[in-house]
Chain A
Amino acid sequence: MIEKTDVAIIGAGPVGLFAVFELGLLNIKCHLIDNLDKVGGQCAELYPEKPIYDIPSRPIVTGQELTDELIKQINPFKPQFHLNQQVDKITKTETGWIVETNIGTKVEAKCIVVAAGAGSFVPRKPPIENIENFENKNVFYAVRDKSMFSGKNLLIAGGGDSALDWTNELSKDSNVSLIHRRKDFRAAPDSVSKMQELETKGKIKFLKGQIKTISNTEDSKIILQYENDEEKSQIEVDYLLPFFGLKMELGPIADWGLNLHENLIKVDTEKFETSTPSIFAIGDINWYPGKLKLILSGFHESALMAQEVFKYCFPDKKNIFRYTTSSKELQKKLGV
């Protein structure tokens, strides 16, 4: 099934979210697609609890608060979200574009707004030689179908929430060992105590160290060598699940034929349109002379981009400039 809308926004970071507002004021409907399991981009993923001091009129606001309030602000426009999926492909149609994700969602839109920040969040992979040869066979960076691990020997690597949550969860049906460089964990206290309880009961095994090499056995299992200050050792398992957090990568955007400047999309500073007409780029992902990677700049870019998108969406209509303070029509849209 193909979903139809006016604008497909790639990336639901602060800038993609605010674009919904500026477009919404002009009666333009949006779908947003993001690789993360939540909205808010870097603010929600990298620094939800940290304060931001340079949002106009907010002397201090945390990354998560900013995200929550943007959601509140754009709610009247009923944006549709498609989370947990990466836009892989875009295809030109007669009237616009079809945007397609890695899990098969298709959105047809008149314009595309790329608000992809520093790229999509992807798992950080440990630098173990040849690990890529084992990916999706013995090595998984995310758990999609936990039944495949049932009754198997697993090694989970990492010391954060994902590592501990999956250790606790998968130990119900599998034989789990957890490896981390130290015996402290930066995870929710509840998960840490649960894990320690499982270890005391002998339900899971804790190994201290860092994985150094990976190799396979004849019966398609893997051997991981690891070491710490005191010793070198090894373990044989069916699967390795490394959880070392996420990093950002430009990803498929590089293949869409847009003019780039050092991994950023070149735009003009009047309309924030890319080298391909009807594709726009705003926020951290774009580049123009003098560009500053600030949330503030992304908000400004959203407002100007929306003016041009209006022309694509309503070629016969004239866009009249109005203030939200005084326009009855805009206030009706906002439901105030």
Chain B
Amino acid sequence: MPKLIIKDRSGKKSEIEFNSNFTLMEILRDNDYGIEASCGGCCACATCHVYVDEKWTNKLKNMDDDEESMLDQAFDIKNNSRLSCQIDLSEELDGLEIEIAPE
């Protein structure tokens, strides 16, 4: 199975396998990475904020307007900020490295 490399809020790195039918948010939420995701992935809460490793930013589908606007309600935004509920996982993302943004 493809896997993700995740840096949690304490700075600890871990690897986790994923199933391509899910979004990144769903994997993070279901594995207790402390992502609130209060809107359940509807791009309406900005509580699923992550930083994507620069090596991977080009391999992801571009941000749409909805996601870019919702990021306005998140904090500590960086150039590699994304909302994890808007990232559909696929085999091509095997090895994707991300960091969970502060609460």
Report A's interface with B, CB cutoff 8 A.
46-47, 50, 118, 124, 126-127, 158-160, 180-182, 184, 186, 210, 229, 244-245, 247-248
A182 vs B103: C-alpha distance when bound (angstroms): 21
**Of the candidates B42, B73, B103, which one forms a contact with A245 in the assembled complex, judged by CB atoms under 8 Å apart?**
B73
The interface residues of chain A, by DSSP majority, are classed as loop
By a CB distance below 8 angstroms, the chain A residues around B45 are 46, 247
A124 vs B42: C-alpha distance when bound (angstroms): 18
B69 touches A248 (CB 8 A): no
Cβ contacts B41-79/A at 8 Å (1 or 0 each): 010111100000000000000000100110011011101
Name the distance in Å between A224's Cβ and chain B's nearest Cβ: 14
Q: Does residue B102 face the partner (Cβ distance < 8 Å to A)? A: yes
Contacts A47-B39, A118-B38, A248-B38 given; 14 further ones with Cβ under 8 A?
A46-B45, A47-B42, A124-B73, A127-B102, A160-B73, A182-B72, A184-B68, A184-B69, A186-B65, A186-B69, A210-B77, A245-B46, A247-B38, A247-B45
B38 touches A50 (CB 8 A): no
* CB closest residue in chain A, given B73: A245
A-B contact count (CB 8 A): 44
Report B's interface with A, CB cutoff 8 A.
38-39, 42, 44-47, 65, 68-69, 72-73, 75-77, 79, 102-103
Enumerate the 10 nearest inter-chain pairs by beta-carbon distance, A residue then B residue, closest first.
A186-B69, A245-B73, A159-B72, A46-B44, A244-B73, A127-B75, A47-B44, A181-B77, A126-B75, A47-B42
By a CB distance below 8 angstroms, the chain A residues around B75 are 126-127, 210, 244
B102 touches A181 (CB 8 A): no
A126 vs B79: C-alpha distance when bound (angstroms): 18
Known: A184-B68, A229-B79, A248-B38. A50 touches B73 (CB 8 A): no
Known: A210-B76, A229-B79. A46 touches B39 (CB 8 A): yes
Q: List 24 A-B contacts (CB under 8 A).
A: A46-B42, A47-B42, A50-B42, A118-B38, A126-B75, A127-B76, A127-B102, A158-B72, A159-B69, A159-B72, A160-B69, A160-B73, A184-B69, A186-B69, A186-B72, A210-B75, A229-B79, A244-B72, A244-B73, A244-B75, A245-B46, A247-B38, A247-B47, A248-B38
By a CB distance below 8 angstroms, the chain A residues around B44 are 46-47, 50
* CB closest residue in chain A, given B47: A247
By a CB distance below 8 angstroms, the chain A residues around B77 are 181, 210
A317 vs B102: C-alpha distance when bound (angstroms): 57
By a CB distance below 8 angstroms, the chain B residues around A126 are 75
A186 vs B71: C-alpha distance when bound (angstroms): 10
By a CB distance below 8 angstroms, the chain B residues around A127 are 75-76, 102-103
By a CB distance below 8 angstroms, the chain A residues around B69 are 159-160, 184, 186
A159 vs B65: C-alpha distance when bound (angstroms): 13
A180 touches B72 (CB 8 A): yes
A244 vs B45: C-alpha distance when bound (angstroms): 11
A47 vs B39: C-alpha distance when bound (angstroms): 9
By a CB distance below 8 angstroms, the chain B residues around A124 are 73
A180 vs B75: C-alpha distance when bound (angstroms): 11
By a CB distance below 8 angstroms, the chain A residues around B47 are 247
By a CB distance below 8 angstroms, the chain B residues around A245 are 46, 73
A229 vs B77: C-alpha distance when bound (angstroms): 11
By a CB distance below 8 angstroms, the chain B residues around A247 are 38, 45, 47
By a CB distance below 8 angstroms, the chain B residues around A118 are 38
**Most chain B CB atoms below 10 A, which of A50, A184, A186, A244:** A186
By a CB distance below 8 angstroms, the chain A residues around B79 are 229
By a CB distance below 8 angstroms, the chain B residues around A210 are 75-77
A47 vs B77: C-alpha distance when bound (angstroms): 23
By a CB distance below 8 angstroms, the chain B residues around A181 are 72, 77
By a CB distance below 8 angstroms, the chain A residues around B103 are 127
* CB closest residue in chain B, given A50: B42
Name the distance in Å between A252's Cβ and chain B's nearest Cβ: 19
By a CB distance below 8 angstroms, the chain B residues around A244 are 72-73, 75
* CB closest residue in chain A, given B70: A186
A2 vs B2: C-alpha distance when bound (angstroms): 63
**Of the candidates A47, A160, A248, which one forms a contact with B72 in the assembled complex, judged by CB atoms under 8 Å apart?**
A160
